[in-house]
Amino acid sequence: MKKSCKILLLPGDGIGPEIMEAAVKVLEAVSKKYDVQFEFQEGLIGGAAIDQTGSPLPEETLKMAKESDAVLLAAVGGEKWDDLPTDKRPEKGLLGIRKELGLFANLRPGKAYTALLDASPLKENLIKGVDLLVIRELTGGIYFGEPRGIEERNGEKVGYNTMVYHQHEIERIGRLAFDIARGRRKKLTSVDKANVLEVSALWREVITNLHSDYPDVELEHMYVDNCAMQLVRRPKDFDVIVTGNLFGDILSDEAGALTGSLGMLPSASIGEKHALYEPVHGSAPDIAGQGIANPIAMILSAAMMLDITCKLPEAARDIENAVDKVLEEGYRTGDIWSPGTKRVNTKEMTELIIKHIL
């Protein structure tokens, strides 16, 4: 019998539907080549869901997500919904599904592609060979901490949030990070702001205690401001970075930009029971509907899904190699185009990648 994988597709907003179509085509090619069958369902999230149902995360979507092996999400958000209050915005759909599915770990690889070295804002000698992974805690910290709000105090408005981490949350993400570092170059950098924040002092203490179970992994602690600087000065020295929700949001964009384009970066969000895969970039409303978006981050997110959820590492490597080859052949979407390379649109890029898979 064919192996099967039940996948919920959430195209969302902006370029979302275009790049989702690309990922599905690639998965169909994989299904032909390997003994696997994908069962696709489609749901609403973000602005598209607000327009049709009034909610950025309809119950129906959550139900389908919980019944799937994996969720593949493209992007949410856009100007149209920018004036809505924070708890009604498209982003709330994304935060909600992460929380509801218990996706506590966000894995964001940052890898320098030889073919794209000149797309990096850094000098070639700094960026060549960079291969790092940011592991961001995703269901805690200041994103979800209570109390939170904006209120009137003594005649003026006050806005506040709470950065809070429980020991078990730090241990859970810490163990995962040590395990993953063990399978790579065995170096873990834990990032915090322990010189100022109590929540970070606890983070550092818990991670340090875990280290005794992973003596073969080298552990270093780094303050977040210093890490932001070292990432541009010596990115090659990093292997796995583990950090909280807010710091991880910022550092993963920085790590992503180092390697050239956000349009290349996939991510996996995993929990004990569920997993969701999405590109790091957003919905790019400025180019939506034109068919020119870079589908690579979305396609590589599907590859991470094949690897982690569908247990098809060969198929994942196949896709990654296909992307490498297409780039080496000089094909580029607009975001990574430079003089002397061949500009292609979303569909052409997708077809080129598929050709190398089959």
Closest CB 247 distance from ligand IPM, rounded Å: 12
CA 236 to chain centre: 20
Which of Mg ion, ligand IPM, none interacts with 95 (beta carbon under 5 to 8 A by kind)?
ligand IPM
Rounded distance, CA 14 to CA 75, Å?
Answer: 7
Rounded distance, CA 247 to CA 255, Å?
Answer: 12
CA 178 to chain centre: 19
- Catalytic site includes residue 192: no
Give residue number: closest CB to Mg ion.
Answer: 249
307 binds ligand IPM (CB under 6 A): no
- Catalytic site includes residue 355: no
249 binds ligand IPM (CB under 6 A): yes
335 binds Mg ion (CB under 5 A): no
Interface with Mg ion (CB under 5 A), residue from 137, 249, 278, 335: 249
Which of ligand IPM, Mg ion, none interacts with 91 (beta carbon under 5 to 8 A by kind)?
ligand IPM
137 binds Mg ion (CB under 5 A): no
Interacting positions 16-75 with ligand IPM (CB under 6 A) = none
- Catalytic site includes residue 225: yes
Closest CB 253 distance from Mg ion, rounded Å: 5
Q: Under a CB-based contact definition with an 8 Å cutoff, are residues 169 and 140 in contact?
A: yes
Rounded distance, CA 124 to CA 118, Å?
Answer: 7
270 binds ligand IPM (CB under 6 A): no
- Catalytic site includes residue 318: no
91 binds Mg ion (CB under 5 A): no
Q: Tell me the site size for ligand IPM, rule CB under 6 A.
A: 4
Interacting positions 83-122 with ligand IPM (CB under 6 A) = 91, 94-95
- Catalytic site includes residue 83: no
User: Would you please indicate which residues are annotated as catalytic (active-site) residues?
Assistant: 143, 193, 225, 249, 253
Give the interface with Mg ion as residue ranges (CB under 5 A).
Answer: 249
Give the interface with ligand IPM as residue ranges (CB under 6 A).
Answer: 91, 94-95, 249
